[in-house]
Amino acid sequence: MAELIVSLDTDDRKSAENLIEKLGTLVEYYKIGPIPLLAFGTQFIEYLSKTGKKVFLDLKFFDIPNTVEMAVYNSCKLNISMLTVHILGGKKMLKAAISGRNKSDSNTKIIGVTILTSFSQEEIEEAGMQGEIDSNILRLADIAFETGLDGIVCSAKELRFLRKKFPQSFLMVCPGIRPDGTSCDDQKRTSTVGQAIKDGADFLVVGRPIIESNNPGEVVRQIKKEIMENEYGKST
């Protein structure tokens, strides 16, 4: 069944710990990006592990192969479940990332970032990329799969064609998920929980609708209810 990942994009450690305590066993996975990592340090990852949580380290590594290999190696030593690299770094860099993971003797999943969900068609053209968003994402997903990554980060809107091409074992991690009645803020390519599940998402990443809520537990319960209700409607 698909899993919920709560994105802890905050620099307030007390509020982060309070949220984790409130959510208790409702949430197993938490995303740690640059904001909490720089604010709290790697000790916060150790704290999450000690409380039985799984960590999705979302630093989107994008550098020369040797640097990425060492970054992945040291990240995997932190006992994390998943981490991200930018597919645009190319096959040599992606293979170096896999090498770093293998040298660490860990089971960490390496997930390739396609195009950020905050990007619109206009913005990818500004960045010099040719063609439609969908064609670019498919090309990047091909590179990730051919190189041996464990999956990709994509918006749920792309699942309709990605799931037709790639096996179920190739993980699809989808940010930009917004429960009904919540705003889309700076995300451009968003989706509802139900549609993402029906189209084949493996992980749903949700941040602000949960961490900014006065009742985060209720938001999580509603999301998990929608996951359960739509799980058997997945298209394959």
Active site residues: 60
Kindly report the backbone phi and psi dihedral angles of residue 124, in degrees, each rounded to the nearest multiple of 5, phi listed first: -70, -30
Kindly report the backbone phi and psi dihedral angles of residue 140, in degrees, each rounded to the nearest multiple of 5, phi listed first: -65, -40
From the list 190, 189, 172, the residue with the least C-alpha distance to 180 is 190
What span, in angstroms and rounded, lies between the C-alpha atoms of 114 and 145? Answer: 12
Helices (H), 5-132: 13-23, 34-40, 43-50, 65-76, 91-103, 121-126
Rounded to the nearest 10 degrees, the angle between the axes of helix 13-23 and helix 216-230 is 50
